[in-house]
Amino acid sequence: MPARASVRGTVLTSCVAACLMALPVYTATASTTYTTVNSTWNGGTDNWTTAAAWSNTPTISEYPNNGTPSATAYDVLVTNGGVSGAYTLTLSSNISVDSLTVDNPNATLDQTGGTLDLAQFGGTAVGTLDVNIGQYILGGTLSNANLTTDGSFGTFRIASNGAATLQNVTLGSDLTLGTVNTGDYLDITNTSANATGLDFSGHALNVLGKTVLVDFTNPTNVAQSINGNINLEGNGDEISAYPGGLTVSSTATITASAAGSFDVVTAATGSGVQITNAGTIQATNGTALGINPPFINNTNLILATGGSTVDIYPTTLTNSGTIAAGHDSFVNIGSNAGSTWQQNGTLQASAGGEIAVTPNDAGGTGTMEMTSGSAYDVQLGSSGQAGLLSVEGNLQLDSGSMLSVSQLVGSILSGPYDILNYTGTLSGTFTTVTPGYVLDYASHPGEILVTAVPEPAALAVFALGLAGLGLSRRKSSKRKVAA
């Protein structure tokens, strides 16, 4: 029997009922005592509530459910139990146990409904659901649990009945989310006592299935937080936020990486729905990623790399972080008609990458404003290749806005380079430009061009070269006259 916390470890010397005379009894508080039973499944394919299918130590004729009989807690093991071949243990009602381990390659624990609650009996701690070997299919609610799976032998899947829910669950390992059918979804929900329905605790959620929907719902309108990594590896996977909002924390990264897929980070309509990104949201490996909330506040990094595309279509967008397009990648930002998008952070376009801003999708004339302290970072390459910022509307460059220019390693610069386009009017200029580069605002209407200016030392060498060439020519002429 595993060791218990001190609040549960005082052995009583008195007996309970006659049928429980041999069982150890623990105390959780001064007024609450309970007994722990170790239960092993022996029944093959059957239902959890079949009492005869369980082997209990010490002996008791009940199926595992904390409080049955009174003041009894259960540690449960689903193993072979003398059963040969594959079998399914079905859980369809509300059950509470202190811990549950699935440890048989032939076993499937199929939770078709109800709530499996691992809040430990008589205390405030939560128990562990360990899918070590075998399979667990969630079609109900898993609540108050430390969830651990073995990525090689233990499988966690969500059922197709639309009722799979994690509520106040902590990951004890990376969780790879498989599905039964295309279009299954997992609801991650919180309570007023715990604002994070799923605590990643340094681990990752890997979504492998096709068109899997992961919903972060907030019944109490308390915002949820993603505090670990989510990897969207299927085609059409989706993360959704609901009223109360969703925050991607500074320790979190959401990555869409399935080549050719279209993955979405979105938000439902309604008051208080917003996504705040304090971590990283990125598309890699040729993925198309859509971010479509009514409101997004980006304080860290939204990134497209490896030939990927990120489409951002919020009602309101505040960027005080970095939005970046890598080589051969594209970031498209759109918003409502006549809107003004304040760009307080950094836009980054590598050579061959492009950021397009459309602040007037519905036909109005919108403005992209780069405020004081904001920056546009652009990279120049060979053969006229450069990063590009395109604005479908007006461009307003406030005093204090900055342009940072860099050169792709190994490239030979030519010029001028077209680095910024706009279709409306231009107000203001960049206050600060990287030394060694000059801007041309006037030669081509609707375009801002940059040209590299040779450094003084290079000009001096060039001048000396010209002088030397002139001297050589004069000496040559004198020799010809003397001849």
Spell out the SS3 assignment of the chain. Answer: CCCCCHHHCCCCCCCCCHHHCCCCEEEEECCEEEEEEEEEECCCCEECCCHHHEEEECCCCCCCCCCCCCCEEEEEEECCCCCCCCEEEEECCCEECCEEEEEEEEEEEEECCCEEECECCCCCCEEEEEEEEEEEEECCEEEEEEEEECCCCEEEEECCCCCEEEEEEEECCCEEEEECCCCCEEEEECECCECCCEECCCCEEEECCCCCEEEEECCCCCCEEECCEEEECCCCCEEEECCCCEEECCCCEEEECCCCCEEEEEECCCCCCCEEECCEEEECCCCEEEEECCEEEECCEEEECCCCEEEECCCEEEECCEEEECCCCEEEEECCCCCEEEECCEEEECCCCEEEEECCCCCCCCEEEECCCCEEEEEECCCCCECEEEECCEEEECCCCEEEEEECCCCCCCCCEEEEEECCCEECCCCEECCCEEEECCCCCCEEEEEECCCHHHHHHHHHHHHHHHHHHHHHHHHHHHC
> Which of 198, 176, 201, 199 is CA-nearest to residue 187?
198
pLDDT at 194: 63
- Looking at the chain, how many residues does it have? 483
Query: Above 70 in pLDDT, residue 143?
Result: yes
* 258 pLDDT more than 80: yes
Between 106 and 19, the higher pLDDT residue: 106
Phi, psi of 258 (to 5 degrees): -80, 115
133 domain residue, yes or no: no
Is the pLDDT at 49 greater than 90? The verdict is: yes
Q: Token digits for 455?
A: 């450094």
Q: Give, in degrees to the nearest 5, the angle at Cα 122 between 120 and 124.
A: 60
- pLDDT above 60 for 468: no
Structural tokens at position 195: 């604002």
Average pLDDT over residues 202-224: 83
Overall average pLDDT of the 445-453 stretch: 95
Mean pLDDT of 402-423: 91
Q: Which amino acid is at 445?
A: P
Residue 5 pLDDT level (bands cut at 50, 70, 90): very low
Q: Tell me whether residue 58 is in a domain.
A: no
Residue 464 CB neighbours (<10 A): 10
Conformation bin of residue 201: beta by default, left when phi > 0, alpha when psi is -120 to 50: left
Among 41-50, 57-66, 259-268, 345-354, name the one with the lowest average pLDDT.
Answer: 259-268
Residue 24 has pLDDT above 60, yes or no: no
Q: What Rg value do the Cα atoms of the chain yield, rounded?
A: 32
Percent of the chain with pLDDT over 70: 81
Cα–Cα–Cα angle for 179, 184, 188, nearest 5°?
Answer: 95
Report pTM. 0.83
* Mean confidence (pLDDT) of the chain: 83
> Which three-class secondary structure string do you get for 338-375?
CCEEEECCEEEECCCCEEEEECCCCCCCCEEEECCCCE
Q: Residue 325's pLDDT is what?
A: 96
- Per the CB < 8 A criterion, the answer to whether 168 and 197 are in contact is yes
pLDDT band per the 50, 70, 90 thresholds, residue 15: very low
Selection from 429, 440, 356, 366 nearest residue 399 by Cα: 429
Compute the average pLDDT of residues 42-57: 94
Report pLDDT digits (tens) over 278-301: 999 999 999 999 998 777 888 999
Is position 419 within any domain?
yes
Q: Which of 171-185, 312-326, 417-431 has the lowest mean pLDDT?
A: 171-185
pLDDT number for residue 57: 95
Higher pLDDT, 469 or 277: 277
* Domains held by the chain: number: 1
Best-predicted range by mean pLDDT (148-152, 462-466, 467-471)? 148-152
> What is the Cα–Cα distance from 462 to 22, expressed in whole angstroms?
98
pLDDT category at 136 given cuts 50, 70, 90 is very high
| 152: pLDDT strictly greater than 90 | no
Return the pLDDT at 461.
Answer: 41
pLDDT value of position 268: 74
The answer to whether 462 touches 454, Cβ cutoff 8 Å, is: yes
Give the least confident one: 151-160, 177-186, 372-381: 177-186
Token pair 């231009």 is found at 426
In a domain, 437, yes or no: yes
Q: Which of 11-25, 76-90, 194-208, 353-367 has the lowest mean pLDDT?
A: 11-25
The pLDDT of residue 121: 86
Q: Which residues of 157-167 are buried (b: 16+ CB within 10 A; e: fewer)?
A: bbbbeebbbbb
Token digits for 95?
């059950």
In a domain, 438, yes or no: yes
Amino acid at 474: R
List pLDDT tens digits, range 153-171: 888 989 876 779 999 999 9
- Domain containing 434 equals 325-452
Residue with tokens 């951002």: 312
- Given a cut of 80, whether residue 469 has pLDDT beyond it is no
| Contact by Cβ (8 Å): 323, 354 | no
Residue 425 covered by a domain: yes
Tell me, rounded to whole angstroms, the distance of Cα 414 from its chain centroid. Answer: 40
- 207-224 average pLDDT score: 80
**Is residue 459 over pLDDT 80?**
no
Q: How many CB atoms lie within 10 A of CB 345?
A: 21
303 in Cβ contact with 282 (< 8 Å): yes
**pLDDT: which is higher, 456 or 323:** 323
| Residue 428 belongs to some domain of the structure | yes
Q: Is residue 229 part of a domain?
A: no
Nearest Cα to Cα of residue 239 among 313, 186, 294, 203: 186
- Read off the pLDDT of residues 79-128 as tens digits, 9 standing for 90 and up: 876 777 899 999 999 999 999 999 999 999 999 999 999 998 877 789 99
- Average pLDDT (455-464) is 46
Type of residue numbered 476: S
- pLDDT score, position 218: 80
